[in-house]
Structure 1
Amino acid sequence: MTSIKDIAKKAGVSISTVSYALNGNPKVTEETAAKILAIAKELNYVPNAAARSLKKRETKIIGVFLTNFGGAFYGQLLQGIQDALNSKGYEMIVCGGKESHRFIPERMIDGAIVLDFSFSSEELLKHADVGHKIVVMDRELNHPNINQVLLHNTSGATLAIDFLIEKGHHKIYAVNGPDGSYDAAQRIEAVRQAVKRYQYIDYHELPGDFNKHAGEKAAEQILNEFTDPVAVFCLNDEMAIGMYNYLAKTQFEIGKHIHIIGFDNIELSHYTQPRLATIDYSERKWGAVSAEHLLKLISGEPVENERIYVTLISGDSVQSI
């Protein structure tokens, strides 16, 4: 493997001059830098990332930590992160599982974007205390080295329940998310608060896990208890689509017997029949804003916590009764 010593020998200059040229330092004239870069290219020189990290204390890599990679949710989110990072010369690695947590203290990355409830808040605060820069998308943490970019879960869940009430629905089910999920906890609490405003609501909660199988199980239970048309708020679209899958095998019709609203407006929901009512926001923007805020933290720029606003897409899966 070619080293900077090899380049220095062929160019007839010192190792420090080669180092300056490769790093764009103005101490080297344009003519000398051009000569050195040409020789580096000729010799197929590849910079040593580990050495650069030690010298500059940077890797130009950001770690994105996710609870899992399943389902249709993460594509646009990661695209937004990648677009924002690439525009500033950074790359990303996507991580999952507790073993990957060591990337932060071992400084294998310059900062972390966390949407992963396998990280404890105590662990993140410990890393922040020693200077690591972190953006959290799934919890509220107050620390100078931690920034929050969160969804407006409360507004979204409230919009969903109010929409069902406006359509005349009195019996409402909510299909919850997984234990430990900040978004699920925020949404279900907002649902409970919204329902309390209406004295006449027959309200039920069912367990869920933010996947299609959980939606199928919830649909089965609802049909076992079915007497009259009901409305269902699935706390994410994947569970709503799971309900579609199950109901397609029965004589029950969505928008007639079972009225469904989801949350996330994932691309797959655009092709459901009838069109799924859902809570919409830009996953790509959520990812991009998170990346932009992390880069500001890393560069020492001031940055405020931010929430991503949501809107309602009425769809056809909820009709008036």
Structure 2
Amino acid sequence: MISIKDIAKKAGVSISTVSYALNGNPKVTEETSARILKIAREMDYVPNAAARTLKSRSSKIIGVYLTDFSGAFYGEVLQGMKEVLNKRGYDLIVCSGSYSHRLLPQRMIDGAIVLDHSFASEELLQLAERGHKLVVLDRELNHPNVNQVHLDNKAGAALAVEYVIEKGHRKLYVVTGPQGSYDSKQRLQAAKQAIERNPDVVYVEIEGNFTKESGELAAKQIMKEYKEPVAVFCLNDEMAIGLYNTLVKADFRIGEQIHIIGFDNIELTQYTQPRLATIDYSKRKWGALASEQLIKLIMGVPVEHERIYVTLIEGGSVGEG
């Protein structure tokens, strides 16, 4: 790789002169600067981003850590992050996997937003202890360098369960999310609490993992056990869509025989017939607020933990019981 030392040798100037020229410093005359830049282009010189970051102590890049990139959920969240960060002069990179965790201690990014249940909380606290700034969307961490921006998962799950119970349904399946997911745990806990307040409701739990495929598997179990109309609360819309499509293909009538409600209000739910009932919130606002909080942390501005509120979207997928 070509270094500024190589450029200096060819140009017959000092390394510091090359550095000044490459950074537009007025200490170098326009004629000398132009000659150095021409040589740099001819030699295909690429600046060392890591070295620049170490010198300035700022990369102007924010990392967002996701469990995976599948499904229709992440697009709006990332768009909300990008809009805020770009306005403030930051770029965004999306990361997944343990190797990318090194970007923080190597200071290749200025801070991170975490929506990745596989990123251990112990590791995040160690990073925070070393001064790295973090916003977490999927756990509770108590540290001055960590801010929390959570969905109101419990309120949303309670709304969903109360909705189907008010419709007269007395048997309720709940399709869960991944075991390590904070959102899934919060939603499941609230769903169980709402059911406990209605002791005449029969509750059946089916393990899922927030994917359409796990919704399809849940549908097969429900069809095998089907004797009379039942309601199903899927802890996210991806599973609800998988369940929905499988039941329709098997000629079950949604909203009459099987009643479904999801969580997230992804765009696809608007096009199902009948429309899927779901829990709504602004995913773009969630991402935007996370970015705003992280920039405040980086700038040393005091921040409070934030919450994104939810609402119920009624739909024909849940009829009268």
> What TM-score do the two structures reach when normalised by structure 1?
0.89
Question: Secondary structure of the equivalent of 2:53?
Answer: helix
For residues 24-63 of structure 1, the aligned pairs below 5 Å read 47-63=47-63
Q: How does 1:229-308 map to 2 (within 5 A)?
A: 229-308=229-308
* Cα 1:119/1:189, change in 2 over 3 Å: same
**1:225–1:137 distance in 2 versus 1, CA, 3 Å:** same
- Mapped to 2, the partners of 1:300 and 1:283 lie a distance apart of 26
Q: Secondary structure at the match of 2:249?
A: coil
Which residue of structure 2 aligns with residue 224 of structure 1?
Answer: 224
Q: Are the equivalent residues in 1 in contact too, given 2:21–2:36 (CA < 8 A)?
A: no
RMSD: 2.7
Correspondence list, 1:1-321, <5 A? 18=21, 21=24, 47-321=47-321
* C-alpha displacement of 1:212: 0.8
Return the letter of the residue paired with 1:61.
I
Assess if the C-alpha contact under 8 Å between 1:170 and 1:201 holds in 2: yes
Look up the equivalent residue of 1:219 and give its one-letter code.
A
Aligned residue identity for 2:130:
V
Conserved 8 A contact 2:170-2:202: yes
Over residues 104-136 of structure 1, what are the superposed CA-to-partner deviations in whole Å (9 max), with x where a residue is unaligned? 112121111111111111110011001011110
Measure, in 1, the Cα distance between the counterparts of 2:51 and 2:105.
17
Letter in 1 for 2:145: N
Could you tell me how far apart the structure 2 residues matched to 1:183 and 1:260 are? 19
Q: 1:136 to 1:82 in 2, by over 3 A?
A: same
CA contact (8 A) 1:2 1:43 kept: no
Unaligned segments of structure 1, at least 5 residues: 23-27
Q: Which runs of 5+ in 2 are unaligned?
A: none
Q: In the alignment, is the contact (CA less than 8 A) between 2:18 and 2:36 conserved in 1?
A: no
CA positional deviation for 1:15: 5.8
Q: Tell me the SS of whatever aligns to 1:75.
A: helix
1:251-280 per-residue CA deviation (whole Å, 9 max, x = no partner) reads 210000000000001111111111100000
Q: Distance in 2 between matches of 1:186 and 1:318?
A: 23
Identity %: 60
Secondary structure of the residue aligned to 1:248 is helix
1:63 shift after superposition: 1.0
Number of the residue aligned with 1:25: none
Quote how far apart the aligned CAs of 1:286 are.
0.7
SS in 2 for 1:53: helix
Query: CA offsets per residue over residues 147-181 of structure 1, 9 Å max, x none?
Result: 00111000000000111111111111110001100
Q: Is the 8 A contact 1:21 1:37 kept in 2?
A: no
1:51 is displaced (CA, Å) by 2.4
Deviation, structure 1 residue 14: 5.3
Amino acid at match of 1:156: G
Deviates most, 99-108 or 274-283:
99-108
> 1: distance between equivalents of 2:129 and 2:3?
39
TM-score normalized with structure 2 length: 0.89
Matched residue count = 313
